[in-house]
Amino acid sequence: MESLLYSSSLQTPAFSSQSTFLFNKSLSNPTPILPLPHPHRAKSRFEPLSCTMSHSAEAVTNPKETKLWGGRFEESVTDIVEKFTESISFDKQLYKHDIMGSKAHASMLAQQGLISLTERDSILKGLDEIERSIEAGEFVWRTDREDVHMNIEAALTDMVGEPAKKLHTARSRNDQVLTDFRLWCRDAIDRIVASIKNLQVALVKLALKNEGLIIPGYTHLQRAQPVLLQHLLLAFVEQLDRDAGRLTDCKARLNFSPLGACALAGTGLPIDRFMTSNALGFTAPMRNSIDAVSDRDFVLEFLSANSIIAVHLSRIGEEWVLWASEEFGFITPSDSVSTGSSIMPQKKNPDPMELVRGKSARVIGDLVTLLTLCKGLPLAYNRDLQEDKEPAFDSVKTVIGMLEVTAEFAQNITFNDERIRKALPAGYLDATTLADYLVKKGIPFRTSHDIVGRSVALCVSKNCQLQDLSLEDMRSLSPVFDNDVYEFLGVENAVKKFSSYGSTGLACVADQLGYWVSKLEINKS
């Protein structure tokens, strides 16, 4: 099967390799009207018009050719309509997946006797050459050919002639584009998951570098309880792991093939959808042809997962932007991940993380765009759905960029131990641990809560910390207090008292860290 899809040594059609030809507008009977020899490279047997300029350039303006769907039309579309309806400016990103799908489809058509083996070989060889020319930057994308599918098919027809006209047998652009898009999303998910793991590794390594460092934990952005910095960093790692899991689940659900569903009703031709599904690595063909061409929930799920990733990254960004401020001073980013001000010479700004925070809005916006696009569409395919690509492309590009720069930032920050330690006494971070002490002495928690609350009020009046209160002061609030109370007071003692699974206790965090070092295969040396 692979040899049929990917072989580059298959029989080639016989036509001149001495020059490249421009063809007139009738694709059904191409007539060479102008030779265009290429001065900088050896001639190829497959060297169409579409291989003469960089694909990154604006598409050239050519005399309009008859559309591949133009048989029943007496007029061509106006320039304004053509410009408004084209999608080649963005869906050319799907070229590799479009060619993969076409190779699988051509091989299936040959297997089923719908095209000959010679025709299959010509198609596969031509598609190989088109892929080569795109990747070499020689292919010209033409707006009059509307989209990636028709650009490739028209170029293939220019190359090999009649066999290419059979490629679209038992296939519509409706199922073709969804096949391409599912393949693209599948690959994009793999790229994002790899970027997530890279960030997880950076965070775990940052945790390993800061063993034993206690920081204030916050709720409502108010001092709450002391926690190990390692514990907090591993919280981000846990969130990212669920993000990767959502993407993996999404990939499993989207990995079903719409190819062969045609426009919406399937076909009466003897195709084998299981063959193309297997060739493209799908789990199976989609069961319902109408669902196959109208479904976009796989993209909605994908962009939803990306939006949750973006929200998690935005929260990391917010934390580190705050911590880099003079008011906190907990971290110092290196110059390599900071920027300055055009007017204030002293400024050193954590701009990458501010932009991570900002770009989360863009990723969420991509999801909202697609949700709004799909709302209220009748079955099956509607042209509105052409607009699903750009939000998906933007979401993936943005999320990968956010993950990469967050990992870069994590590798280039220093935690300011002395500043953090000076900040720890404020906020009575050991108050809850004191309440636990009373519970262990047999006092009901609500009563303990009240006693500790009054203890804090006493500290406020004396301008001191809980550990500074005398035993006499404490016994004035409850006779239960004894000398062993001081083993529960102070942030270091408080952290030592945490023991529940998943808590910020030293042994618990060590276990969590060991788990992630092992899972992520991090070399600690």
Rounded to whole angstroms, the Cα distance separating 186 from 254 reads: 8
Label each residue of 470-508 as H, E or C: CHHHHHCCCCCCCHHHHHCCCHHHHHHHCCCCCCCCHHH
Cα(367)–Cα(384) distance, integer angstroms: 15
The two structure tokens encoding residue 53: 């300029």
Whole-angstrom Cα distance, residue 479 to residue 485? 12
Which tokens is 170 given? 């038992």
CA distances (Å), 98 to each of 105, 131, 137, 203, in order? 10, 10, 17, 38
Is residue 97 among the annotated active site residues?
Answer: no
Q: Catalytic one among 40, 56, 220, 461?
A: 220
Phi, psi of 413 (to 5 degrees): -125, 155
Q: How far is CA 35 from CA 66, 215, 470, in A?
A: 22, 73, 99
The answer to whether the CB of 254 falls within 8 A of the CB of 302 is yes
The answer to whether the beta carbons of residues 280 and 183 sit under 8 Å apart is: yes
* Catalytic-residue membership of 231: no
**DSSP labels, 80-145:** HHHHHH--HHHHGGGHHHHHHHHHHHHHHHHHTTSS-HHHHHHHHHHHHHHHHHHHTT-PPP-GGG
Q: How many other CB atoms sit within 10 Å of the CB of residue 397?
A: 14
Choose, from 54, 334, 341, 499, the residue flagged as catalytic.
341
Residues identified as active-site: 220, 341
